[in-house]
Structure 1
């Protein structure tokens, strides 16, 4: 009766609370209910760090009035004794889709090319939609709300998960008894961004990660220009961005690297984003911490792989095995490093799995207080609602959980989730626990009755001696319904009984198989006991494998550091006028080549006996596509605004393999999807560093251009993007450089101008500040490109591929262009039909600086042998051949003052070979970059053994997980995409 009165009172309260106070009252006599509700004798978590034992929580009109150990309870209060129970603030999810209609991909058709937007009066790119408002498509979803409340959530921050600029969000209290008038707490709860374009828009640009980043940069620049009143037309997208710039700015990254990329965009525009992470931040925690960003962390930890089949187990990479082992420790690592973060069920199939994931994070070391902060006070702080949400301080919304005990214990029951003072029953806290073992007496026979399972959803097992009978049970509102079916005659006995607090035994009405009535009794013999986990190891956090740099096979426990090293008595290939020096010493000191000579003193330097071995400068690959997350931005015919530096992949295993082939530097080039491609990244292969750590400091500026079949899309069957012919390609260059010339003139004249990153880059070419590497094959196009350049007063730096270079070598030399070419590739597509293996030697003899490059993930590992081919095809000397992979590419990249040869004062980027560096039998024994050893042949052998040992250990852990009943997934091979010039 008490519960019924309380419920009635709350409904009455709700009816008055949730009507607008200025609505007319024409349907009867009404009065406002100002009753208080007092919850006494509870353990109250006012905040994660302010806990009251045996306290009282007092609420009124959906708000907290007071929480304390000595609260004065008003006379008009409904009092509920919560002796032995706990009260927590309800959880908050800041990154939700709740109630907001999500766009669906349109059927049929491909993407529209170039600038063809579907909207008028908005930003030119359809994937930029800051004008979208989640409130406009919000509809309260009671079913989803119940699932979220059951998981402990009281408030969610929802938005449209579509597009790069996604518009504003809506903050919702999960109050099923209210209306939108009161449960919508904020109809502009933040502004949202991502790196993923819309599924509903057909505009093709951007087609890549680097395009998305460039689009964001330009969008912010355009917004600044617009804000100064420079536009003659209205742009509703930019106006929405500017109007909402004071809101919390959220960015969906979903990966540790993207967290850093997003933060860079924010830093460039004076914005500190709240960033949705990927759960792998522990791998680069120092860099993540340095962003000072608040993170939203999903807890969708990976399942173990079923590695019981030893052959299938071989498919699973060590990196993926480690991810299963290490990912649950991510929240702990963030907490230990002082990173502010909230937790979200984002990416979970159901909120019902959320508690299990949070408990796993706690099992892996996340303190419970930090877990509670990440679900209450931190999300409230992120949303700027610290006074009204996330705590039980006076004035806050009465959003709280009533539990049987510690909310972060598996056995704890969540009874009620109150939202804005409205009660939502999850499990009946007043229901008596009837679980246990009974002697059941029915018609003169005694059975063993075993009731187990959950208190409100019990399971039953009935036995006659050792014979198990078919049985069913239902338990509701302290009424028990039970049925058993006998084995002999398949007769059904039905029983019902009230459950009272006065007795642990059960007795009630019995309906016999023939329909007559009788009675039954069940005498309790013992209480229910939770079954202990048979796999005790499952209750403990498994051994967490140490993170390496990068965090995959062949990573380093500690990043390599420069050493002072003296290579003694070796054959030195200087790639300088000194040629090849026999029986010579080379001293490496402070990352530089300090001395070259005979009988050098080692001092404190480490001595390496290199007798019989050869020391060379590190190989430089002028044209490569390894270590990239994307290679082509194909949405436009000019993409000078994109940067390969944005998409450097420091975790590409091909970096390590290239080091094993003696490569120390490379130019990471954009692909050949468009005449004017993206800007290059020139990197050192510092395996273990993060992406920015690979890029040359004060790097020369380069960009990729392209000619031929690819840019006119001969092989892609695309007929909607200009150009479609080689004549059109020439006109693209003429048009863009004319525009850049006019743009630069306006800028230099001091006139107002709209900052255009694409034009800025092309103007750098006109001003001799940026160099061009041009993808090329056919002599007619090579001639055309040089004429266009000369018309606009600049020179082509490098023609790459250039397999018809031998036909125009004299003109190239006169123009001042260099060449990066293959040693002996030919006839792999139509425009390569005239290629010959003598190409490199012929160009070199005409005075062209020639480099042999790879453009291939495999060939980069044996560029030493590719250089040797020019000795056979063209009769080049060994020294000149070797220069084609060392000092010549350094010259083409304008780095020859720093690398490319063994010369005092240059960077100590050197390779120690076991024999002649161009022999197929020689191996790189040591590869150094700036005096640090990034590849060592003996260490490589040790790494292989360590990998084998670690895999065995992780497989054992997974097998134990399976035997303990853990959730598994099938073995899967993770294959990283390999890029070429033509990859889209």
Structure 2
């Protein structure tokens, strides 16, 4: 990667480009499905035409040789760019803690984690060379915080500083949030209803019982009136049922994250039109909220009519590439292949409010594309080229540079010395 290109990517000012990808197996992640031996024409960074025998004009041409072409994939809900090294607190910006105990709890939904995003994070190219083009930055929870973590947003891995699309509010309920609500999941509903009372003026702003700042009230008014997506980390079927009822009664637009026992109440989730971000590798109970864990969760949810996407539990930021394994695992356990691909492309894009810009190969969409060596849901295959706005992204990262440095052929030099002849 040249120094100039590095600076362009980092500053987000790299220009969109024209491109013709010829003779690809185009997985559109749209109603058009998969198109064989098809061309995709890009003009000014947007998809201009999809068909056969398209004229390139002055655009560079790439012969895909029949290989799969997909939209750039969703990396899940991660901390990429707001967490560099989890063990070094100065590089972790995804959580807010202002109170030492429940009595001092302050609820700050106005906290927006996207304001800490660093597009020059080394995690960005590590994910991007694996075909991951974007992620939802999540606001996490920790001791001294509340069940409401704050706001996150979608960032593209094109070097841009700012998030795109609407913000989402992050909430943790059930056993995962019990230590943030007086060690009782019952208290979570009490707290949520109090917040609604505050937003709607039934509790004065100067009350000694008030939990919100004026900015917090304004922020929650957006989400507790049906105007923004609330992503709720929740696992147990009974808690999910209660959440669906609560959201319907209070006009809150939700999505479920985790939902390990979601399959048990899949018809209710589908009827509510609620999307779900599942960890398709959660096949065994990790705690008492996940007794009903099954590898068929995604397949059963999809069969009931639920829009299914994917997100990893644990260290998703440093292992974003594994999200393809989640989707492939779901397919191996009954999810249709096209639904597995949609769960990494069009479903999260539409669920998170950016579906008009990305998530499918369609005319007018951003040309964020990936050419694969084979089946993109099979980890035995890799991304051979990634484009962002039609720009070919150098297929290098800190990891590939370390690989090349330490695994060079025997060239008569000490280990770790690169061969300048290559």
TM category, shorter: 0.7 to 0.9
Which stretch shows the higher mean deviation, 767-776 or 632-641? Answer: 632-641
Quick check: 1:675–1:707 contact (8 Å CA) kept in 2?
A: yes
Q: Secondary structure in 2 aligned to 1:680?
A: strand
Q: Which residue of 20, 24, 29 corresponds with 1:575?
A: 29
Q: How does 1:701-780 map to 2 (within 5 A)?
A: 701-713=167-179, 722-742=181-201, 756-780=214-238
Q: How does 1:73-84 map to 2 (within 5 A)?
A: none
Q: Return the offset for 1:787.
A: 2.3
Q: Return the offset for 1:744.
A: 11
- Which residue number in structure 1 is paired with residue 49 of structure 2? 595
The Cα offsets for residues 440-460 of structure 1, whole Å up to 9 and x where unpaired, read as xxxxxxxxxxxxxxxxxxxxx
Residue 846 of structure 1 pairs with residue 304 of structure 2: yes
Q: How high is the TM-score relative to the length of structure 1? A: 0.37
Distance 2:328 2:153 in 1: 27
Q: Return the offset for 1:925.
A: 1.4
The Cα offsets for residues 796-817 of structure 1, whole Å up to 9 and x where unpaired, read as 2x10011010111111122221
- Which residue number in structure 2 is paired with residue 801 of structure 1? 258
- Cα 1:550–1:838 change in 2 (3 A) is farther
Q: Return the offset for 1:859.
A: 4.0
- Cα 1:936–1:739 change in 2 (3 A) is same
Query: Per chain length, whose mean CA-contact separation is higher, i.e. which structure has more relative contact order (CA < 8 Å, sep 6+)?
Result: 2
Q: Return the offset for 1:575.
A: 0.9
Residue 631 of structure 1 pairs with residue 85 of structure 2: no
Quick check: 1:560–1:934 contact (8 Å CA) kept in 2?
A: no
Q: How does 1:530-929 map to 2 (within 5 A)?
A: 549=6, 560-628=14-82, 629-635=92-98, 636=105, 638-673=107-142, 674-687=146-159, 689=160, 691-692=161-162, 695-696=163-164, 699-713=165-179, 722-742=181-201, 756-796=214-254, 798-825=255-282, 826-855=284-313, 856-874=316-334, 876-929=335-388
Q: Return the offset for 1:910.
A: 0.9
- Which residue number in structure 1 is paired with residue 85 of structure 2? none
Q: How high is the TM-score relative to the length of structure 2? A: 0.82
Quick check: 1:741–1:766 contact (8 Å CA) kept in 2?
A: no
Q: Return the offset for 1:940.
A: 9.4
Q: Secondary structure in 2 aligned to 1:896?
A: coil
Q: How does 1:61-100 map to 2 (within 5 A)?
A: none
- Cα 1:567–1:670 change in 2 (3 A) is same
Distance 2:139 2:400 in 1: 35
Distance 1:811 1:821 in 2: 16
- Cα 1:557–1:672 change in 2 (3 A) is closer
Quick check: 2:372–2:382 contact (8 Å CA) kept in 1?
A: yes
- Cα 1:946–1:756 change in 2 (3 A) is same
> For this pair of structures, how many residues does the alignment match?
383
Distance 2:174 2:93 in 1: 21
Quick check: 1:612–1:915 contact (8 Å CA) kept in 2?
A: no
Stretches of structure 1 lacking an aligned partner (at least 5 in a row)? 1-544, 714-720, 747-753, 957-984
Distance 2:139 2:187 in 1: 21
Distance 2:16 2:340 in 1: 30
Q: Return the offset for 1:785.
A: 1.9
Distance 2:54 2:204 in 1: 57
Distance 1:562 1:685 in 2: 14
Quick check: 1:591–1:907 contact (8 Å CA) kept in 2?
A: yes
Quick check: 2:22–2:39 contact (8 Å CA) kept in 1?
A: yes
Distance 1:808 1:641 in 2: 32
Quick check: 2:256–2:276 contact (8 Å CA) kept in 1?
A: yes
- Which residue number in structure 2 is paired with residue 542 of structure 1? none
Quick check: 1:675–1:706 contact (8 Å CA) kept in 2?
A: yes
Quick check: 2:80–2:318 contact (8 Å CA) kept in 1?
A: no
Distance 2:222 2:320 in 1: 30
Distance 2:380 2:171 in 1: 37
Q: How does 1:366-515 map to 2 (within 5 A)?
A: none
Distance 2:397 2:192 in 1: 51
- Cα 1:833–1:896 change in 2 (3 A) is same
Q: Return the offset for 1:546.
A: 6.6
The Cα offsets for residues 294-347 of structure 1, whole Å up to 9 and x where unpaired, read as xxxxxxxxxxxxxxxxxxxxxxxxxxxxxxxxxxxxxxxxxxxxxxxxxxxxxx
The Cα offsets for residues 893-927 of structure 1, whole Å up to 9 and x where unpaired, read as 12222211111111111111112222222111111
- Which residue number in structure 1 is paired with residue 101 of structure 2? none
Distance 1:657 1:924 in 2: 12
Q: Return the offset for 1:663.
A: 1.1
Distance 2:10 2:195 in 1: 46
Quick check: 1:549–1:558 contact (8 Å CA) kept in 2?
A: no
Distance 1:743 1:548 in 2: 55
Quick check: 1:592–1:930 contact (8 Å CA) kept in 2?
A: yes
Distance 1:879 1:596 in 2: 19
Q: Secondary structure in 1 aligned to 2:385?
A: strand
- Cα 1:550–1:781 change in 2 (3 A) is farther
Q: Return the offset for 1:870.
A: 1.9
Quick check: 1:625–1:631 contact (8 Å CA) kept in 2?
A: yes
Distance 2:56 2:398 in 1: 23
- Cα 1:621–1:744 change in 2 (3 A) is farther
Q: Which has the larger radius of gyration?
A: 1
Q: Return the offset for 1:558.
A: 10
Q: How does 1:15-54 map to 2 (within 5 A)?
A: none
Q: Secondary structure in 1 aligned to 2:23?
A: strand
- Cα 1:562–1:831 change in 2 (3 A) is same
